[in-house]
Amino acid sequence: MEILAGATAQPAGATIVALDARVDPETRNAAVRALIGGADSTPTPGASVQVRVPVGPSRPAVTVPVSALRRGPEGDRVFVIEQDAGGNSRARQRRVQAGAVLGDSVVIEQGLETGEQVAATGSFKLYDGVLVSVATEQLASTAATTSAGSL
């Protein structure tokens, strides 16, 4: 795991050496004792720190902005921007399986490939097959591959 001891501190590796068996039912916090190695500024006892805990091995993951994901009763969907036979850009609704949210991005587990362009802003106004015009890169986003595996 990694520890961030201050606003400008670099992450330092840490190893858990003791874990309290009690968890506060209201805050869901538990006391942990860790051995911190290589920290620029060692936190004082009782100090609050940010902790990054890996939840599995890193793996490539397709991500899109959270604003591109449309959640509904029939499942999660995104609008993919595709070229029709006439060369016009059209929004095509596609069912996807969304995973973890990583900041402003959401992992797409199934239904989207790296490099596909999705509507990220104003997608709530779209419907399947509608003609679209991409005004700027801020209005559309390309599905990217990132490394997922820590929270």
- Per residue in 41-75, pLDDT tens? 667 777 777 787 777 777 788 999 999 999 989 89
DSSP 8-state assignment for residue 68? G
Q: What is the pLDDT of residue 31?
A: 82
- The mean pLDDT value of the chain amounts to 81
Interatomic CA distance for residues 128 and 65, integer angstroms: 20
Query: Which amino acid would we find at residue 15?
Result: T
**Residue 76 above 60 pLDDT?**
yes
DSSP 8-state assignment for residue 20? -
E strand spans, 20-112: 32-37, 50-52, 54-65, 70-72, 75-83, 89-102, 105-110
Task: For the full predicted model, state whether its pTM sits above 0.75.
Answer: no
**Residue 146 above 70 pLDDT?**
no
**Residue 120 above 80 pLDDT?**
yes
Instruction: Decide: 137 and 84 in contact? Cβ < 8 Å.
Output: no
Percent of the chain with pLDDT over 90: 31
Structure tokens at 119: 């509507």
pLDDT classification of 96: cutoffs 50, 70, 90: very high
**Residue 95 above 90 pLDDT?**
yes
Q: What is the pLDDT of residue 142?
A: 60
Rounded to 10 degrees, what is the CA torsion of 33, 39, 41, 43?
-10
Structure tokens at 1: 């795991």
Q: What is the pLDDT of residue 139?
A: 46
- Per residue in 2-11, pLDDT tens? 887 766 667 7
Q: What are phi and psi of 67, to 5 degrees?
A: -65, -15
Instruction: Pick the closest to residue 119 from 97, 90, 141, 136 (CA basis).
Output: 141
Q: What is the pLDDT of residue 106?
A: 92
Local structure of 123: helix, strand or coil: helix
Q: What is the pLDDT of residue 150?
A: 43
**Residues found in the chain:** 151
